[in-house]
Chains A and B, each alone.
Chain A
Amino acid sequence: MEKIAVRNSGYQISRGRISRVTLLTETERLFTIVLQNNETLDHDPGQFVEVSRFGVGEVPISICSSPTRRDAFELCIRAAGRVTAALHRLKPGDEVGIRGPFGVGFPMTPLAASDVLLIAGGLGIAPLRSLVHYIIDNRRDFGKVDILLGCRDPQSMLFSAELEFWRQRIDINFLCSVDSAAAEWEGNIGLITALIPGVNLDPFKTIAITCGPSVMYRFVIAELLKKGIPPAHIYLSLERHMKCGLGKCGHCQIENLYCCQDGPVFSYPQIKNIRGALE
Chain B
Amino acid sequence: MSGVLLYKSELCGLIHFLVADQTVIAPVPLTHGQFKFAAVTTLEEIALDAIPTLLPPKKYFLPPQESLLQYDTTQGEKMQAEVAIEETVLFGLHTCDLAGIQCLDMVFADRPKDLHYMIRKQHFTLIGLECNDYCDSSANCAMLFNHLPKGGYDLFLTDLGDYYFVDINTHKGDLLVEKSGLFVPVTPAAQDNLQKLRQIKTKRFKSEIPIRYQDIKPLFEASFESNVWTDIGAKCLACGNCTNACPTCYCFDIVDEPEFDLTRGKRLRIWDSCQHENFARIAGGENFRKERGDRQRHRYNRKFHYPMERYKQIFCTGCGRCSRTCMARIDLKETFNALIEECR
Contact = CB atoms under 8 A, between A and B. Distances in A.
B1 interface: no
Contacts of A239: 282, 284, 286
Given A55-B262, A248-B107, A9 B81 contact: yes
Nearest to A78: B283
A12 B73 CA distance: 14
Contacts of B82: 3-6
B79 interface: yes
Given A55-B262, A251-B251, A12 B79 contact: yes
Interface string B169-185: 00000000000000000
B112 interface: yes
A248 B108 CA distance: 8
Interface in A81-120: 81, 84, 95-97
B79 to A, nearest CB: 6
B10 interface: no
A256 B306 contact: yes
Given A11-B254, A97-B79, A249-B254, A54 B71 contact: yes
Contacts of A15: 76-78
A5 B80 contact: yes
B110 interface: yes
A10 B283 CA distance: 23
A241 to B, nearest CB: 5
B256 interface: yes
Interface residues of A, number: 50
A37 B84 CA distance: 30
A19 to B, nearest CB: 14
Interface string A242-254: 0110111111011
A181 to B, nearest CB: 22
Given A5-B80, A6-B116, A55-B262, A241 B280 contact: yes
Nearest to B113: A10
B25 interface: no
A1 interface: yes
Given A4-B119, A54-B71, A256-B309, A251 B80 contact: no
Nearest to B69: A11
A187 interface: no
A58 B254 CA distance: 8
Given A5-B80, A53-B77, A248 B252 contact: yes
Q: Sorted from nearest, which 6 A-B pairs have the closest CB atoms?
A: A250-B251, A9-B81, A256-B306, A80-B283, A6-B81, A54-B71
Given A4-B85, A10-B113, 5 more contacts: A239-B284, A243-B252, A243-B253, A247-B112, A256-B309
Interface of A: 1-13, 15, 52-59, 78, 80-81, 84, 95-97, 213-214, 239-241, 243-244, 246-251, 253-256, 261, 275-276, 279
9 contacts: A3-B84, A9-B68, A55-B73, A56-B256, A249-B251, A250-B251, A253-B306, A254-B288, A255-B301
